[in-house]
């Protein structure tokens, strides 16, 4: 029960952070696709960087065994198709699953509509699963990680991703300062 309360608290805190950043507002999210507002990229890059560095250093400092983290298997073609459907839904609604929850909690009708679409999509895939199961399980690659793909050690990948992410954030700051 404590784990559920902790997870719920983290989810609420993340939702509050998204709302404070304005990410429950579909037009603001859509401006990311037109390269007019980089808030989404800044928030998500910062969140991913924080999680990656927390996992890396938490493991190195013995706070937990990061090798025990679950990495789901990759099924290339079904996940590419799923990503395209996800992206299309994101562009059409201006919201992703997380930001649609934030929009709904903020009282925005777009959030309710997007959540309804998400649940309808999950229901349709569930009902159609027997017919699409062979495709769903096609092109298995096991657990793909950057470390496995590149052959670089875990620490080197963490350093490389950190440098790239910080460089992108610095580039965004420079672009925004020039406006």
Q: Where do the structural domains in the chain lie, given as residue ranges?
A: 1-25+73-141, 38-69+145-179
Local confidence band at 44 (pLDDT 50, 70, 90 cut-offs) = confident
Q: pLDDT at position 154, please?
A: 93
- Inform me whether the pLDDT recorded for 179 exceeds 80: no
Confidence (pTM): 0.77
Q: Which residue's structure tokens are 């649609």?
A: 100
Local confidence band at 178 (pLDDT 50, 70, 90 cut-offs) = confident
Are the C-beta atoms of 66 and 58 separated by less than 8 Å? yes
- Inform me whether the pLDDT recorded for 59 exceeds 90: yes
| Long-range contacts, stretch 174-178, CB < 8 angstroms, 24+ apart | 175/38, 176/38
pLDDT for 115-163, tens place per residue? 999 999 999 999 999 999 999 999 999 999 999 999 999 999 999 999 9
């Amino acid at each position: 029960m404590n784990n559920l309360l902790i997870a719920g608290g983290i989810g609420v805190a993340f939702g509050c952070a998204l709302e404070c950043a304005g990410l429950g507002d579909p037009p603001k999210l859509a401006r990311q696709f037109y390269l007019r507002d980089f808030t989404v990229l800044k928030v998500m890059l910062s969140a991913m960087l924080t999680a990656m560095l927390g996992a890396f250093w938490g493991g190195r400092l013995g706070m937990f065994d990061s090798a025990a983290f679950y990495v789901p298997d990759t099924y290339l073609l079904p996940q590419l198709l799923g990503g395209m459907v996800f992206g299309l839904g994101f562009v059409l609604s201006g919201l992703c699953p997380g930001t649609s929850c934030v929009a709904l909690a903020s009282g925005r009708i777009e959030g309710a509509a997007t959540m309804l679409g998400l649940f309808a999509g999950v229901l349709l895939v569930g009902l159609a699963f027997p017919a699409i199961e062979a495709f769903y399980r096609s092109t298995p690659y096991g657990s793909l990680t950057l470390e496995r793909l590149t052959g670089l050690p875990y620490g080197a990948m963490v350093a490389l991703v950190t440098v790239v992410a910080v460089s992108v954030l610095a580039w965004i700051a420079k672009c925004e300062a020039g406006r």
